[in-house]
Amino acid sequence: MFSVLRFSTIKNLRNVRTFASSTSNHFDIIIAGGGLVGTSLACALSKNKILSERNVLLLEGAPPFKGFECGEYGNRVSALNNNTVDFFKNIGVWEKISAARFKPVKQMQVWDASSNASITFNHDNFSENVAYIIENDLVLDSVYKELESAKNVQIKNLAKIEDVDLEGLATKSVKLKGGEEFTCDLLIGADGVNSLVRKQMKVDTYTHNYNEMGLVATLELDGNACDNSVAWQRFLPTGPVALLPLNENKSSLVWSTTPEMAKKLQSLPADEFVDELNKAFVKEYPKNEFVSNALRVLDTIMNSDSQSSRQYPPKVRSVVERSRACFPLGFMHSSSYVRSGVALVGDAAHRIHPLAGQGVNLGFGDVKCLVEVLADGVYGGATLSDKLVLLKYEKDRLVHNVPLMLGIHGIQSLYSSSFSPLVLLRSLGLQITQNAPPLKNLFMKKAMG
Ligand SMILES: Cc1cc2nc3c(=O)[nH]c(=O)nc-3n(C[C@H](O)[C@H](O)[C@H](O)COP(=O)(O)OP(=O)(O)OC[C@H]3O[C@@H](n4cnc5c(N)ncnc54)[C@H](O)[C@@H]3O)c2cc1C
């Protein structure tokens, strides 16, 4: 199905401005990495009126994508925000996703197992849904299908980049395993958290290992979960456990916990795993009397009832066979996203904890911004490698990404502590926000994009 996109069958590049005059191994833009972010970047470049005649090569180390079918739900899903959905609409991808399947989230409930402080976000507070739960493979499939009509993009699979030379003034070059070499005016690293492009840029990175794994799985819910449109997240002392709705009776799990516990949960017999999971949402943890009293006082002052207003998630009945998988979780931020003729997007530039479901949303935001900035620059007469143009991209994204990433990192740190003053601080913060609609709306608007 995707053979038309493979490099071995180079398409007729009628629309490529520089291809005929350049050597066959030179491209205007090379994208290193064809994950969610790299492929959507190729698609966005093909849709932009100013850039759609620039020849683009997408290099992906993995074999060609096998496609997507609406059978059993995949275990890798993302909570995508409204900005991402708008971006997908603009690059022609949303139509394909919505024709297949997605689940709008109408409410989100988050609560703290150490104090029972909770917060609920409703879509009624906003005109739009809180988020959309979509399988990663469906996004990839939809982007690949849209790329089939992109005249300026070539995709080469099984193209593992082994070396990157960024020292050339006019061109950057990449060398694949096997020896093949390509050059370009602009090299974009979309090659994930261990980005080779970033390493060759020799930029500083701030990294933090959470010493947590994210256990994912597809779950079947008990009986009547109604329309199952609530996303649930409970902060346990070992990390947050979250249920993301997929349809009326299925949800996706993201359970962040210690590596030892994640491995144990992954290997438990299915029925024991389901028992542990159901317990994780209802189990009572030791409460600090001082924190509980403070919350009761706050309830009285704010005329609220935090304990009875909280609902509980639907009971999980079973876990889909072979759907359990573990992923390491960490924080990484590159001190710089660009240098002359080079830019980073997505996890190659930044990586965050999945507790707020923002990682790939930030990546799609990078793509949208980079394409707009490049198009403006080229329209104004700049080259694709112009550092001043690329610096504008970096500045715009740092202003957006850094506060959000620090906020999520802060929440992760705050919730991984059982130190009473911190439990008090976070519980009061959650409870005050819950009872202060303007504050709650502000947080929600930030998270919704
Ligand atoms: C458990 C979990 C849950 C998550 N949930 C959410 C969520 O709900 N919402 C959200 O927004 N984000 C979420 N995220 C984050 C999200 O998954 C990532 O941000 C996203 O996948 C990053 O995409 P990417 O394309 O930048 O990088 P990647 O997915 O890492 O893709 C990089 C690509 O580059 C290729 N590559 C790497 N090196 C080379 C090389 N040398 N040569 C050629 N190709 C190469 C790889 O094969 C890969 O295809 C979650 C993450 C985890 C772990």
Task: Give the residue, 219 or 294, on which the prediction is more confident.
Answer: 219
Q: Which of 82-96, 196-210, 239-253, 426-440 has the lowest mean pLDDT?
A: 426-440
- Cα–Cα distance measured from residue 414 to residue 403, given in angstroms and rounded to the nearest whole number: 16
Q: Ligand 1 atom closest to Cα of 193? A: 30
Its sign, for the CA torsion 219, 224, 229, 234, is: negative
| Residues framing ligand 1 (Cβ under 6 A) | 32-38, 59-62, 78-79, 159-161, 190-192, 196, 214, 216, 254, 327, 346-347, 354, 357-361, 363
pLDDT at 18 over 50: no
Q: 359: CA distance to ligand 1 center in Å?
A: 9
- Cα–Cα distance measured from residue 204 to residue 333, given in angstroms and rounded to the nearest whole number: 9
Ligand 1 binding pocket mutation candidate from 199, 254, 332, 347 (most atoms within 8 A of CB): 347
Q: How confident is the model at residue 449 (pLDDT cuts 50, 70, 90)?
A: low
pLDDT of residue 411: 81
Model pLDDT for residues 56-74, shown as the tens digit of each residue: 999 999 999 999 999 999 9
The protein residue with its alpha carbon nearest to ligand 1, atom 51, reads 354
pLDDT of residue 422: 73
CB 176 within 8 A of CB 159: yes
Residue 401 vs residues 50, 194, 301, 352: alpha-carbon distances, Å: 26, 19, 36, 10
Q: 399: CA distance to ligand 1 center in Å?
A: 22
Domain 3-66+73-447 listed as CATH 3.40.50.720: no
Model pLDDT for residues 358-382, shown as the tens digit of each residue: 999 999 999 999 999 999 999 999 9
Q: Ligand 1 atom closest to Cα of 362? A: 11
The protein residue with its alpha carbon nearest to ligand 1, atom 17, reads 360
Q: How confident is the model at residue 170 (pLDDT cuts 50, 70, 90)?
A: confident
Q: Ligand 1 atom closest to Cα of 244? A: 8
Model pLDDT for residues 90-134, shown as the tens digit of each residue: 999 999 999 999 999 998 888 888 777 777 777 665 557 889 999
**Mean of pLDDT values over 268-292:** 87
The protein residue with its alpha carbon nearest to ligand 1, atom 3, reads 354
Q: Which of 137-151, 278-292, 371-385 has the lowest mean pLDDT?
A: 278-292
**Pairing status of strand 250-257 against strand 338-339:** unpaired
The protein residue with its alpha carbon nearest to ligand 1, atom 20, reads 360
The backbone torsions φ and ψ at residue 113, rounded to the nearest 5 degrees and listed phi first, read -65, -25
Model pLDDT for residues 332-351, shown as the tens digit of each residue: 999 999 999 999 999 999 99
Residue % of the chain over a pLDDT of 90: 69
pLDDT at 303 over 90: no
Q: Which residue has the tokens 């966005």?
A: 44
The protein residue with its alpha carbon nearest to ligand 1, atom 52, reads 354
pLDDT at 294 over 70: no
Q: How confident is the model at residue 169 (pLDDT cuts 50, 70, 90)?
A: confident
Q: Ligand 1 atom closest to Cα of 214? A: 1
pLDDT at 322 over 70: yes
Q: 35: CA distance to ligand 1 center in Å?
A: 6
**Mean of pLDDT values over 180-197:** 97
Q: Ligand 1 atom closest to Cα of 33? A: 34
Q: 351: CA distance to ligand 1 center in Å?
A: 9
SS3 labels along the chain: CCHHHEHHHCCCCCCCCCCCCCCCCEEEEEEECCCHHHHHHHHHHHHCCCCCCCCEEEECCCCCCCCCCCCCCCCCEEEECHHHHHHHHHCCCHHHHHHHCCEEECEEEEEECCCCCEEEEEHHHCCCCCEEEEEHHHHHHHHHHHHCCCCCEEEECCCCEEEEECCCCCCEEEEECCCCEEEEEEEEECCCCCCHHHHHHCCCEEEEEEEEEEEEEEEEECCCCCCCCEEEEEEECCEEEEEEEEECCEEEEEEEECHHHHHHHHHCCHHHHHHHHHHHHHCCCCCCHHHHHHHHHHHHHHCCCCCCCCCCCCCEEEECCCCCEEEEEEEEEECCCEECCEEECHHHCEECCHHHCCHHHHHHHHHHHHHHHHHHHHHCCCCCCCHHHHHHHHHHHHHHHHHHHHHHHHHHHHHCCCCHHHHHHHHHHHHHHHCCHHHHHHHHHHHCC
pLDDT at 304 over 70: no
Q: 193: CA distance to ligand 1 center in Å?
A: 7
Q: How confident is the model at residue 155 (pLDDT cuts 50, 70, 90)?
A: very high
pLDDT at 182 over 50: yes
pLDDT of residue 178: 93
**Mean of pLDDT values over 136-153:** 96
Q: 34: CA distance to ligand 1 center in Å?
A: 9
Q: How confident is the model at residue 311 (pLDDT cuts 50, 70, 90)?
A: confident
**Pairing status of strand 342-344 against strand 181-189:** parallel
Amino acid making up residue 288: N
CA 106, chain centre distance (Å):
19
Total residue count of the chain as it appears in this document: 449
Average pLDDT score, the chain: 87
- Cα–Cα distance measured from residue 77 to residue 139, given in angstroms and rounded to the nearest whole number: 9
Contact partners, residue 104, CB within 8 Å, separation at least 6:
123, 129, 131, 132, 229
pLDDT at 254 over 90: yes
CB 208 within 8 A of CB 409: yes
Residue-wise burial string across 344-372, b where 16 or more C-beta atoms lie within 10 A, e elsewhere = bbbbbbbbbbbbbbbbbbbbbbbbbbbbb
Instruction: Please give the structure tokens belonging to residue 12.
Output: 């007729």
Cβ atoms within 10 Å of 116's Cβ, excluding its own: 20
pLDDT of residue 296: 65
pLDDT of residue 12: 31
Ligand 1 binding pocket mutation candidate from 360, 397, 408, 446 (most atoms within 8 A of CB): 360
pLDDT at 75 over 90: yes
